[in-house]
Chain A
Amino acid sequence: MRRFALVLVASLASTAALAAEPVRVGFLTVNTGALAAGGRQMQEGLTLYLKQHDNKLAGRDIEVITLDTAGQPATTRTRTQEAVERYHVDVIIGPLAAFEALAINDYVKQAKVPVISPSAAAEDLTQRTPNPWFVRAVGTSAQPNQPLGEYAAKTLKYKRVATIGDDFAFGHETTAGFQRTFEENGGKVVQKLWSPLNVADYGSYIGQIKTDVDAVYASFAGANGLRFLRQYAEYGLKGKIPVLGNMTTVDEGILKNMGDEAVGVVSGGWYTAAFDNPENKKFVAAVRAAYGADPGYYTVGAYTAAMFLDLALQKVKGNVKDKDAFMKALRTLDIKDSFRGPIKIDDYGNPIMNVWIRKVARKDGRLQNTVLETYKDVSQFWKYPPKDFLKEPVYSRDSPPAKNVEK
Chain B
Amino acid sequence: MKRAALLALALAVLVAPAILPWDFYVNIATQVLIAAIFALSLNLLVGYGGLISLGHGAFLGASAYAVIFLTTRAGMAQLPAAACAVVFATFLAALFGPIALRASGLGFLMITLALGQIMWGVAYRWVEVTGGDNGLSGFTRPQPFGLDLSSPHAFYVLALLVFGCSFAFIALLVHSPFGAGLRGVRDQPRRLRALGFDTWLIRYAAFVIAAFWAAVAGVLWAYYNQFVSPHVLSLTNSAEVLLMVIAGGAGTLFGPVAGAVIVVLLKNVASAYVTRWMMLLGIVFVVIVVFMPEGLVPGLARLRRRSTGGVARPRTEGA
* Chain A interface (Cβ < 8 Å from any Cβ of B): 4-6, 8, 31-33, 67-68, 70, 72-75, 77-78, 81-82, 85-86, 98-99, 102-103, 105-107, 122, 124, 129, 167-169, 172, 196-197, 396-397
Chain B, range 210-264, C-beta contacts under 8 Å to A: 221, 225-227, 229, 231-232, 236
Given A78-B31, A82-B24, A82-B272, residue A99 in contact with residue B225 (CB < 8 A): no
When distances are taken between beta carbons in the complex, the residues of chain B under 8 Å from A5 are 275
Given A4-B275, A86-B24, residue A74 in contact with residue B225 (CB < 8 A): yes
Least CB distance from A30 to B in Å reads 11
Give A169 to B125 CA distance when docked, in angstroms. Answer: 10
Interface contact A73-B135, CB-CB below 8 Å? yes
Q: Is B167's beta carbon under 8 Å from chain A? A: no
Interface contact A68-B275, CB-CB below 8 Å? yes
When distances are taken between beta carbons in the complex, the residues of chain B under 8 Å from A99 are 133-135, 229, 231
Least CB distance from A67 to B in Å reads 7
Give A169 to B15 CA distance when docked, in angstroms. Answer: 43
Interface contact B272-A73, CB-CB below 8 Å? no
When distances are taken between beta carbons in the complex, the residues of chain A under 8 Å from B236 are 72
Give A98 to B230 CA distance when docked, in angstroms. Answer: 13
Least CB distance from A80 to B in Å reads 11
Interface contact A106-B226, CB-CB below 8 Å? yes
Q: Is B287's beta carbon under 8 Å from chain A? A: no
Secondary structure type dominating chain B contacts? helix
Given A33-B278, A99-B134, A103-B137, residue A77 in contact with residue B227 (CB < 8 A): yes
Give A122 to B135 CA distance when docked, in angstroms. Answer: 12
Closest 4 CB pairs of A and B: A86-B24, A85-B24, A85-B23, A168-B133
When distances are taken between beta carbons in the complex, the residues of chain B under 8 Å from A107 are 226
Q: How many residues of B contact A (CB 8 A)?
A: 35
**11 A-B residue pairs with CB within 8 Å:** A4-B276, A70-B278, A73-B135, A73-B227, A77-B225, A78-B28, A102-B135, A106-B137, A106-B226, A169-B133, A169-B134
Contact with A85, one of B27, B31, B271 (Cβ below 8 angstroms): B27
When distances are taken between beta carbons in the complex, the residues of chain A under 8 Å from B133 are 98-99, 168-169
Contact with B231, one of A67, A73, A129, A397 (Cβ below 8 angstroms): A73
Q: Is B303's beta carbon under 8 Å from chain A? A: no
Interface contact A102-B268, CB-CB below 8 Å? no
Interface contact A397-B127, CB-CB below 8 Å? yes
When distances are taken between beta carbons in the complex, the residues of chain B under 8 Å from A68 are 271, 275, 277
When distances are taken between beta carbons in the complex, the residues of chain A under 8 Å from B225 are 73-74, 77, 103
Chain B, range 44-63, C-beta contacts under 8 Å to A: none
Interface contact A167-B125, CB-CB below 8 Å? yes
Q: Is B132's beta carbon under 8 Å from chain A? A: yes
Give A5 to B275 CA distance when docked, in angstroms. Answer: 8
Q: Is B22's beta carbon under 8 Å from chain A? A: yes
When distances are taken between beta carbons in the complex, the residues of chain B under 8 Å from A122 are 134
Interface contact A81-B24, CB-CB below 8 Å? yes
Give A168 to B124 CA distance when docked, in angstroms. Answer: 7
Give A8 to B276 CA distance when docked, in angstroms. Answer: 14
Least CB distance from B269 to A in Å reads 9
Interface contact B125-A67, CB-CB below 8 Å? no
Known: A68-B275, A74-B221. 18 other contacts (CB 8 A): A31-B275, A32-B276, A70-B271, A73-B231, A78-B28, A82-B24, A85-B22, A85-B23, A102-B134, A102-B229, A103-B135, A103-B227, A124-B134, A169-B132, A169-B133, A196-B121, A396-B127, A397-B127
Contact with A74, one of B28, B125, B232 (Cβ below 8 angstroms): B232
When distances are taken between beta carbons in the complex, the residues of chain A under 8 Å from B135 are 73, 99, 102-103
Interface contact A74-B278, CB-CB below 8 Å? no
